[in-house]
């Protein structure tokens, strides 16, 4: 493990190094989280909600500062960072508003008893393993509902997000979350595995790669505890023959460039009727060509660097391999001749099932556009991958678009929009995109004890 550092992807230089957890500290972390649980659990739901509301206030008030921090850490352009910080704040606010109601006891039909009551109770310390691409939003998705429920949290963020993870911990503690009810740890993979296996930990949530998810799921399963996994996607975008090609092409291209293409639910594979494909490609290429690349601290910049030089090189290699295997490159695909982790956004066509780019997730600013002869072919190709996070369908006949959307094997389908995420909407996928749901009432239901209390008639 490389350790926890802030290596600015704009310059390629390491600005700060952080002290990692020692092996001898692991048991102390577990003991502290376990000891904090009874007190946090006993705190009233209204009191916990008030704390989350204060957290939301801070995210809103300090959004500019928070955006600047991750622009340095992982290269997110300022405006996108502002939007992420505000979205994270809105998640804390949603659970502050709706959490107490979601935790209330539910009276069932007594069914022959004096009372049949369902109670929603926290289960104990949880481990969260978070990725670097949305440092605030991903944490809020996991932390807000579980702190609201009364669980305690041990949070392991990505190695490049040490500074933002420390800031998030300070915000939570200053808002009133007890110090040991939320512990930010700079842990190694081996230390993480030890924590997950420990009987004091009752569940784990991971957003990350398939390999990391499989390792965490194996460990959690071996120790008979709950896990929630969000493992990325290769999301399809289906354009119907009655769509406004110019408009949809610009929206799709802009969405693909957001966060330099480093989003699990980015529209990575675009399916267009064959007679409309050239016009669609021309529009996407135009947007990609005009996109302003540069320092993410510059408010005029549309696309910043990728998260690291290594990540950039991996995406460039994927594009090169696709071209070697017969795909057509319309623009970009190469690393920029400057310091940092920049690459020219790329558009590929002619990608076939024999090529690796057909099946794999390309986690960078690359659009793969497929020409299709029939709607049946579009749906079949859209589903012909191992991922199933989200997808979208675009057309003016809404009923027809909805019917097509219902055929996509994904956890989230959008009609005439792509990748929308809001605090009250469920987020999650199927197949190798993982399992479980975050956000809304569904996120509150993953790590709780839904307990029946039944009282018989005397």
Per-residue pLDDT of the chain (458 residues; tens, 9 = 90+): 358 999 999 999 999 999 999 999 999 999 999 999 999 999 999 999 999 999 999 999 999 999 999 999 999 999 999 999 999 999 999 999 999 999 999 999 999 999 999 999 999 999 999 999 999 999 999 999 999 999 999 999 999 999 999 999 999 999 999 999 999 999 999 999 999 999 999 999 999 999 999 999 999 999 999 999 999 899 999 999 999 999 999 999 999 999 999 999 999 999 999 999 999 999 999 999 999 999 999 999 999 999 999 999 999 999 999 999 999 999 999 999 999 999 999 999 999 999 999 999 999 999 999 999 999 999 999 999 999 999 999 999 999 999 999 999 999 999 999 999 999 999 999 999 999 999 999 999 999 999 999 999 97
Cβ neighbour number for residue 337 with a 10 Å cutoff: 6
Question: Please, which residues have CB within 8 angstroms of residue 255's CB and are 6 or more apart in sequence?
Answer: 266, 267, 418, 419
Q: Is 230 a catalytic residue?
A: yes
pLDDT for 398: 98
397-406 long-range contacts (CB < 8 A, ≥24 apart) are 397/240, 397/242, 400/240, 400/242, 401/240, 404/238, 404/240, 404/375, 404/378, 404/379
Annotated catalytic residue within 161, 264, 361, 446:
264
| Beta carbons within 10 angstroms of residue 47's beta carbon | 11
Residue 389 · residue 426 · CB < 8 Å: no
Task: Please pick, among 73, 84, 161, 230, the residue that the annotation labels catalytic.
Answer: 230
Residue 57 structure tokens: 């206030």
> Would you call 205 helix, strand, or coil by DSSP?
strand
Nearest Cα neighbor of 236 from 256, 254, 250, 219 is: 256
Q: What is the pLDDT, as a whole number, of residue 169?
A: 98
pLDDT, position 1: 39
HSE on the CB side for 14, CA within 13 Å?
10
Retrieve residue 232's tokens.
């990325």
């Amino acid at each position: 493990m490389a350790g926890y550092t802030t290596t600015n992807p704009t310059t390629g230089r390491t600005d700060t190094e952080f002290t990692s957890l020692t092996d001898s500290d692991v048991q102390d972390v577990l003991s502290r989280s376990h000891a904090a649980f009874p007190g946090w659990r006993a705190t009233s739901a209204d009191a916990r909600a008030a704390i989350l509301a204060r957290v939301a206030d801070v995210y809103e008030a300090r959004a500019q500062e928070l955006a600047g921090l991750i622009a340095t850490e992982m290269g997110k352009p300022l405006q996108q960072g502002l939007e992420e910080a505000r979205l994270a704040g809105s998640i804390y606010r949603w659970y502050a508003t709706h959490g107490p109601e979601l935790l209330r006891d539910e009276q069932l039909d007594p069914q022959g008893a004096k009372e049949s009551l369902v109670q929603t109770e926290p289960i104990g310390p949880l481990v969260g393993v978070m990725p670097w691409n949305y440092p605030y939003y991903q944490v809020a998705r996991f932390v807000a509902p579980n702190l609201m429920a009364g669980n305690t949290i041990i949070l392991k963020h990505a190695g490049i997000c040490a500074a933002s993870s420390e800031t998030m911990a300070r915000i939570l503690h200053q808002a009133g979350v007890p110090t040991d009810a939320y512990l930010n740890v700079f842990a190694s993979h081996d230390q993480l595995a030890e924590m997950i296996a420990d009987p004091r930990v009752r569940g784990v949530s991971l957003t990350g790669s398939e390999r990391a998810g499989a390792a965490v799921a194996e460990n959690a399963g071996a120790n008979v505890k709950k896990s929630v996994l969000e493992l990325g996607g290769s999301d399809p975008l289906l354009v119907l023959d009655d769509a406004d090609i110019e408009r949809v092409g610009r929206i799709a291209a802009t969405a693909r460039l957001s966060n330099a293409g480093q989003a699990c639910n980015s529209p990575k594979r675009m399916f267009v009727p064959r007679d409309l494909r050239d016009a669609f490609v021309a529009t996407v290429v135009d947007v990609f060509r005009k996109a302003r690349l540069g320092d993410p601290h510059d408010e005029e910049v549309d696309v910043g660097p990728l998260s690291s030089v290594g990540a950039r090189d991996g995406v460039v290699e994927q594009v090169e391999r696709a071209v070697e295997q017969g795909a057509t490159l319309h623009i970009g695909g190469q690393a920029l001749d400057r310091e940092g982790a920049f690459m020219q956004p790329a558009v590929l066509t002619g990608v076939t099932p024999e090529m690796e780019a057909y099946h794999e997730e390309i986690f960078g600013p690359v659009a793969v556009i497929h020409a299709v002869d029939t709607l049946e072919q579009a749906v079949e190709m859209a589903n012909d991958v191992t991922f199933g996070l989200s997808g979208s369908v675009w057309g003016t006949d809404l009923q027809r678009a909805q019917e097509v959307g219902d055929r996509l094997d994904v956890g989230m389908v959008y009609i005439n929009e792509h990748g929308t995420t809001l605090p009250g909407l469920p987020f999650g996928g199927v197949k190798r995109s993982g399992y479980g749901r975050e956000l809304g009432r569904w996120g509150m239901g993953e790590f709780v004890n839904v307990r029946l209390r039944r009282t018989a008639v005397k």
